[in-house]
Amino acid sequence: MASAVEQFFTVKAKITAAEREAGRQAGAVTLVAVSKTFDAADISPVIDAGQRIFGENRVQEAQAKWPALKEAFPDIELHLIGPLQSNKAKEAVALFDVIETVDREKIAAELAREIARQGRSPTLYVQVNTGSEPQKAGIEPREAVAFVTRCRDVHGLAIEGLMCIPPADENPGPHFALLEKLSAEAGVEELSMGMSGDYETAIAFGATSVRVGSAIFGSRYP
Q: What is the pLDDT of residue 71?
A: 96
Is the pTM here over 0.95, yes or no? Answer: yes
Q: What is the pLDDT of residue 92?
A: 98
Alpha carbon distance 190, 156 (integer Å): 18
Q: DSSP letter at 94?
A: H
The tens place of each residue's pLDDT in the chain, 222 residues long, gives 689 999 999 999 999 999 999 999 999 999 999 999 999 999 999 999 999 999 999 999 999 999 999 999 999 999 999 999 999 999 999 999 999 999 999 999 999 999 999 999 999 999 999 999 999 999 999 999 999 999 999 999 999 999 999 999 999 999 999 999 999 999 999 999 999 999 999 999 999 999 999 999 998 644
Strands (E), the chain: 30-34, 53-56, 77-80, 98-102, 123-128, 159-164, 190-192, 209-212
131 touches 110 (CB < 8 A): no
Which of 40, 61, 43, 37 lies closest to 3 in space, CA to CA? 43
Amino acid letter for position 81: I
In this structure, the dihedral spanned by the alpha carbons of residues 12, 2, 33 and 49, taken in order and rounded to 10 degrees, is -70
Which of 43, 181, 203, 184 lies closest to 192 in space, CA to CA? 203
In this structure, the dihedral spanned by the alpha carbons of residues 175, 179, 185 and 188, taken in order and rounded to 10 degrees, is -170
Q: What is the pLDDT of residue 222?
A: 43
Q: What is the pLDDT of residue 2?
A: 82
Alpha carbon distance 5, 62 (integer Å): 21
